[in-house]
Amino acid sequence: MLPVDDIRKKLLTQRRNLFRQVAQTEDELLWLETDVESEVEERGQEESMVRLLDRLDGRAKAEIEEIDRALFKLGTEQYGRCEQCGKAIPPSRLEAVPAAALCMVCAQAGENQAALRK
């Protein structure tokens, strides 16, 4: 069984670090220090998040989306399962990349395809 709380913490830290790169005002930095998970509904925080999201580049945005998806799946059977082939993703991979949505084989196949397209 995977330590859900540890993974959640890791994911939230990753997410925060991504946002931190583009945080500029005190408000935004403050928002990053608050518990993102419990208070997301609050209006002011949501505005900060939208502003920060705007400044992130495509790659960072994709990473945040991946992290959010993983957080959403965490605690369900879907977490830790490859979205492509449905096989369990090895815990060692999840430890290194907690937001991983694909197993190593499928992730590599995807990268090869992307490389071919160039």
Point out which residues bind Zn ion (CB under 5 A). 82, 84-85, 103, 106
Minimum Å gap between C-beta 85 and Zn ion is 3
What lies within 8 Å, CB to CB, of 83 at 6+ separation is 101, 102, 106
Q: Which residue, 18 or 106, has its beta carbon nearer to Zn ion? A: 106
Task: State whether the Cα torsion 36-61-56-48 is positive or negative.
Answer: negative
Minimum Å gap between C-beta 105 and Zn ion is 5
Q: Which residue, 78 or 84, has its beta carbon nearer to Zn ion? A: 84
**CA distance linking residue 114 with residue 96, whole number of Å:** 22
Q: Which residue, 15 or 80, has its beta carbon nearer to Zn ion? A: 80
CA distances in angstroms from 15 to 58, 61, 68, 71, 110, listed in the order given: 14, 10, 8, 10, 23
Q: Which residue, 29 or 85, has its beta carbon nearer to Zn ion? A: 85
Measured at the CA of 108, the angle between CA 76 and CA 2, to 5 degrees, comes to: 25
Minimum Å gap between C-beta 64 and Zn ion is 22
Minimum Å gap between C-beta 2 and Zn ion is 17
